[in-house]
């Protein structure tokens, strides 16, 4: 991007005085460049506000268990603080090297940050850690590229035209990789969301489906903004993007301040534990208690046919069993294969029997009679359970 520098006589004295000044101070900004700078400063300020509030504030009493309620808190602070990398362009939007740095941040870092933050939060909920290995490789690669761009932007005379062409190609390549990684993570989270929506009952993973849906749409909007910037290659467009994304950062801050998982924090920390762990802690249910809970669960779910309720939740079973959630969850996990597996196995078996007794029934009728919301839900559960 070429820029015209002011050389009229009214500026000669200022330019001579600034000749030995740092790179970002050697050019007097035009009115348009002032607006470009202000737009980016607005975005950076919103990021720093997010980081500061996120670090120093956590709603009580949830702050007692930050790893459960705020699994991505520390990482999000680091991510939003990294907006300071864009400062060279904010200080001098007339500098070509600073412009390349800013484009690199938008193309590479923004999609990657979205993917990492979503994977950290929802991956913790679902105990999915596969994303970490890929993220480590990418952050090293992306980090080296951004570091090189930052050095070029703040140190004069270190880049030639040949270097600039190579950097542009590198930014484009890594930008595509970053977007592909983001799409991969989005697809994973979308599948989890579909499972919750289709099954229509809560599960022991406590997946925050409403929050996930909002985040998916927000990340998709980020991707649209990023690639609009890439295609237009315009400082004005990127300034508009900064102004749009700044309030979006504040909205996200408001959204994540309150935990999106269980509201009952005392219940939330009562996670199901293995037999060995329970015995070591001295609070494993006795064999007689386990048998009593199993019989109670079978009566509620099987005898009373509660599994035919498409909105059946573990809480409903716990309330009817007469035992605490900790023990009921423990029995589901260690004796019945898990809440999801147990309930849907009963539904699948019932659907097969119903189909035999009603050969003229449609698949939608079979699904509805068996506790599923529709045939697609029935198909997905069959595939997941291998039935």
What pLDDT digit, counting tens, does each position of 292-302 carry? 999 999 999 99
Cβ contacts of 144-149, under 8 Å, gap ≥ 24: 145/104, 145/108, 145/170, 145/171, 145/174, 146/85, 146/101, 146/104, 146/105, 146/108, 146/109, 149/97, 149/100, 149/101, 149/104
Q: What pTM did the predictor assign?
A: 0.65
Using the structure block, give the residue that is written with the tokens 């969850």: 329
- Average confidence (pLDDT) over 250-259: 88
Reported confidence tier of residue 280, pLDDT bands at 50, 70, 90 = very low
Distance CA 383, CA 147 (A): 46
Q: Which residues contact 153 (CB under 8 A, 6 or more apart)?
A: 88, 89, 95, 97, 98, 100, 101
Confidence of residue 9 (pLDDT cuts 50, 70, 90): very low
**At residue 202, does pLDDT exceed 60?**
no
Look at 10-19, 148-157, 303-312 and tell me which has the smallest mean pLDDT. Answer: 10-19
Would you place residue 261 in the very low, low, confident or very high pLDDT band (cuts 50, 70, 90)?
Answer: low
Q: What is the pLDDT of residue 42?
A: 96
1: its two tokens: 């991007």
Question: How many residues are listed for the chain in this entry?
Answer: 387
Residue-level pLDDT at 11: 41
φ/ψ of 146, rounded to 5, equals -65, -35
Q: What is the pLDDT of residue 322?
A: 82
Band of residue 19 on the pLDDT scale cut at 50, 70, 90: very low
Mean predicted lDDT score pLDDT of the chain: 80
What per-residue confidence (pLDDT) applies to 145?
92
Indicate the pLDDT class of residue 353, thresholds 50, 70 and 90. very high
Least confident window among 63-72, 130-139, 201-210, 330-339: 201-210
Q: Residue-wise over 325-361: b if at least 16 C-beta within 10 A, else e?
A: bbbbbbbbbbbbebbbebbbbbbbebbeeeeeeeeee
pLDDT of residue 68: 73
Burial class (CB in 10 A: 0-12, 13-18, 19+), 133: exposed
Both tokens assigned to 378? 């029935």
Q: What is the mean predicted confidence (pLDDT) over 5-12? A: 42
Distance CA 105, CA 142 (A): 10
Alpha-helical (H) ranges within the chain are: 9-17, 31-56, 66-69, 73-81, 87-91, 96-104, 110-126, 130-154, 161-199, 209-232, 235-257, 265-268, 275-281, 287-298, 314-321, 325-335, 339-357, 363-369, 375-385
Query: What kind and span of H or E run contains 59?
Result: none
Mean pLDDT of 99-112: 92
Q: What is the mean pLDDT of residues 20-33?
A: 60
Position 241 scores a pLDDT of: 94
* Residue 159: pLDDT band with limits 50, 70, 90: low
When mean pLDDT is compared across 93-102, 107-116, 272-281, the lowest value belongs to 272-281
What per-residue confidence (pLDDT) applies to 196? 63
Is the per-residue pLDDT at 110 higher than 90?
yes
pLDDT at 271: 43
237 pLDDT more than 90? yes
Range of weakest confidence among 128-132, 136-140, 154-158, 245-249 = 154-158
| pLDDT at res. 329 | 79
In terms of average pLDDT, the best of 257-266, 340-349, 372-381 is 340-349
pLDDT value of residue 20: 36
User: What was the pLDDT predicted at 206?
Assistant: 58
- Structure confidence at residue 146 (pLDDT): 93
Q: Closest Cα partner for 86 from 112, 107, 62?
A: 107
The mean pLDDT value for 183-188 works out to 92
Residue 164 and residue 153 in contact, taking contact as beta carbons nearer than 8 Å = no
Q: Is the pLDDT of residue 45 over 90?
A: yes
Residue 133's pLDDT band, with cuts at 50, 70 and 90, is confident
CA distance 157 to 151: 10
């Amino acid at each position: 991007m070429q820029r015209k520098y002011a050389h009229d006589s009214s500026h000669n004295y200022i330019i001579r005085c600034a000749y030995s000044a740092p790179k970002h101070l050697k050019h007097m900004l035009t009115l348009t460049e002032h607006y470009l700078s202000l737009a980016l400063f607005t975005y950076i300020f919103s990021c720093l506000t997010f980081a500061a509030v996120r670090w120093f504030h956590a709603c009580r009493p949830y702050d007692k268990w930050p790893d459960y309620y705020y699994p991505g808190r520390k990482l999000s602070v680091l991510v939003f603080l990294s907006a300071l990398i864009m400062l060279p362009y904010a200080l001098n939007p007339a500098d070509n090297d600073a412009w390349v740095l800013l484009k690199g941040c938008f193309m590479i870092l923004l999609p990657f940050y979205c993917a990492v933050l979503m994977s950290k939060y929802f991956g913790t909920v679902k105990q999915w850690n596969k994303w970490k290995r890929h993220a480590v490789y990418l952050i090293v690669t992306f980090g080296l590229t951004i570091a090189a761009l930052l050095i070029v932007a703040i140190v004069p005379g270190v880049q030639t035209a040949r270097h600039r062409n190579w950097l542009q190609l590198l930014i484009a390549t890594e930008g595509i990789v970053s977007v592909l990684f983001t799409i991969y993570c989005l697809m994973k989270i979308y599948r989890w969301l579909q499972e919750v929506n289709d099954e229509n009952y809560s599960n022991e993973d406590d997946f925050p489906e409403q929050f996930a849906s909002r985040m998916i749409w927000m990340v998709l909007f980020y991707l649209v903004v990023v690639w609009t910037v890439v295609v237009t290659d315009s400082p004005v467009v990127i300034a508009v993007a900064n102004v749009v994304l700044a309030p979006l950062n504040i909205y996200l801050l408001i959204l994540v301040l309150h935990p999106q998982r269980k509201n009952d924090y005392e219940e939330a920390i009562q996670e199901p534990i293995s037999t060995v762990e329970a015995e070591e802690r001295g609070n494993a249910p006795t064999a007689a208690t386990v048998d009593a809970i199993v019989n109670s669960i079978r009566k509620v779910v099987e005898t009373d046919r509660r599994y035919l309720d498409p909105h059946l939740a573990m809480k409903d079973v716990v309330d009817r069993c007469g035992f605490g959630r900790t023990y009921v969850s423990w029995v589901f996990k260690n004796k019945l294969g898990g809440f999801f597996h147990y309930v849907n196995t009963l539904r699948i078996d019932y659907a097969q029997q119903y189909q035999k007794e009603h050969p003229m029934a449609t698949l939608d009728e079979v699904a509805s009679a068996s506790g599923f919301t529709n045939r697609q839900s029935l198909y997905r559960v069959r595939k997941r359970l291998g039935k």
